[in-house]
Structure 1
Amino acid sequence: MKKEEIYATLPHRYPMLFVDDIYEIDYGKHVRGVKNVSMNEPWVQGHFPEEPVFPGVLIIETMAQIGGFMFYSEEESKSLKAYLSKIDEVKFLRKVVPGEQLIVEADFISSFSKFAKVKCKGIVNGKAVAKAVVTYCFDEKINLEESK
């Protein structure tokens, strides 16, 4: 996905945009994207200067931003703007450091009224580094169950 499409889809901008590319979108079912973790990011100065570690809250934010692309469609009328509503079952399995590429895979779980649950996994070098269930809220009632 081109940067322009990412900017058109997400309202986030530097330093709070944590999506470098989206590789796969299967609308309402699955998405896969990447965040390149860099030494040039503002958080490096304080977390931790001698041994930088990508903060867990930013890993969650990365998973939430990439997971939200599952509701993006090139058909503008079909696209849904997803807002973060809730995070459950968060697990950090190992640290993520500058120079690593954080790949996020997200899979649809269920939807109800204006909400959808998505299972997200952060991966570095083929190994899981974080997991979470992210709940998104939408402006209007949705029905993604039939697209499963």
Structure 2
Amino acid sequence: MIEMDINEVIKHLPHRYPFLLVDRVVTMEIGKSIHAYKNVTINEPFFQGHFPHYPVMPGVLIMEALAQAAGILSFKSAGEMPSEHSVFYFAGIDKARFKKPVTAGDQLHLHVEIARQMRGVWKYNAVARVDGEVAAEAELMCAKRDI
């Protein structure tokens, strides 16, 4: 099992503030699954407008956090590092469900499993939890593209 602190995370993702949404990898089994988390603080830039009277993390950013965890798993599983010459794009989000609001002070746990991978397209089963309760879940698909 592999763990990663923030210094390792930023080596395996091209994202940076304010769009880096993974703080730590708790465990990862290469080629199979990852458990990471994002500490959600009141200082997040999106809380200023979503919503000032009740800060809720936008669902699309929860999906993005899951995709970033999936990206780390994919790079490690492929034995690659992010490069200036290729990117992973969202290719699809199926069966997305939002079951619990994520608010300031929550620790968003990101659980992603590889469902399959073929010719640069990766499919994942992803679940985001807060305090053990499902906050969101979806089937994600990403595709690697050379740029």
Paired residues for 1:128-139 under 5 Å: 128-139=134-145
What is residue 51 of structure 1 aligned with on the other side? 54
Range with bigger deviation, 79-88 or 29-38: 79-88
What is residue 103 of structure 2 aligned with on the other side? 97
Conservation of the 8 A alpha-carbon contact between 2:47 and 2:56:
yes
1:139 Cα deviation from its structure 2 partner: 4.3
What is residue 146 of structure 1 aligned with on the other side? none
Amino acid at match of 2:55: P
Paired residues for 1:2-41 under 5 Å: 2-41=5-44
Indicate how the Cα distance of structure 1 residues 80 and 28 shifts in structure 2: closer, same or farther if over 3 A, else same: farther
Distance 1:78 1:20 in 2: 21
The reply to whether residue 85 of structure 1 matches residue 96 of structure 2 is no
TM score, norm. by length of structure 1? 0.86
Distance 1:68 1:134 in 2: 11
Q: Count matched residues.
A: 138
1:23-63: per-residue Cα shift (whole Å, max 9, x none)? 11111210000001110011111000011111111111111
TM score, norm. by length of structure 2? 0.87
1:17 Cα deviation from its structure 2 partner: 0.5
Distance 1:132 1:126 in 2: 17
Report the RMSD for the aligned CA atoms in angstroms: 1.8
Distance 2:53 2:74 in 1: 39
Structure 2 residue runs without a partner (length 5+): 83-87
Amino acid at match of 2:14: P
The structure richer in strand per residue is: 2
The reply to whether residue 62 of structure 1 matches residue 65 of structure 2 is yes
Structure 1 residue runs without a partner (length 5+): 141-148
Distance 2:136 2:45 in 1: 22
Distance 1:93 1:45 in 2: 23
The reply to whether residue 127 of structure 1 matches residue 130 of structure 2 is no
